[in-house]
């Protein structure tokens, strides 16, 4: 997560736990309070080359990411050539 430093420690260790067939992470209370997150709120988890980015859930962002993923798959050969 990337947030401006507001005088608080924005890096926290989070332990992953088994939750049924999934793995869950619990945010420390002070971090959830700062970010105004509550139980039941939705966030998007985006896998990046640097790790996992959690961002507030926005249906438009989710749709845009789906379109980008579809385009990347469809044009993967061209993108690979352009990246050279």
75-84: per-residue pLDDT in tens? Answer: 999 989 999 8
The ranges assigned to domains in the chain are 1-41
21-66: per-residue pLDDT in tens? Answer: 999 999 999 889 988 899 999 998 889 999 998 888 888 888 898 9
What's the pTM value of the predicted model, to 2 decimals? 0.54
Burial 18-46 (b: 16+ CB within 10 A, else e): eeeeeeeeebeeebeeebeeeeeeeeeee
């Amino acid at each position: 997560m990337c947030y401006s430093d507001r005088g608080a420690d924005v890096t926290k260790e989070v332990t992953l736990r088994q939750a049924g067939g999934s793995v869950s992470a619990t945010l420390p209370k002070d971090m959830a309070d700062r970010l105004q997150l509550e139980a039941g709120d939705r966030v998007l988890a985006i896998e990046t080359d640097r790790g996992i980015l959690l961002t507030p859930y926005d249906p438009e962002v989710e749709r845009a990411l789906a379109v980008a993923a579809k385009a990347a798959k469809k044009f993967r050969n061209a993108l690979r050539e352009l990246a050279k």
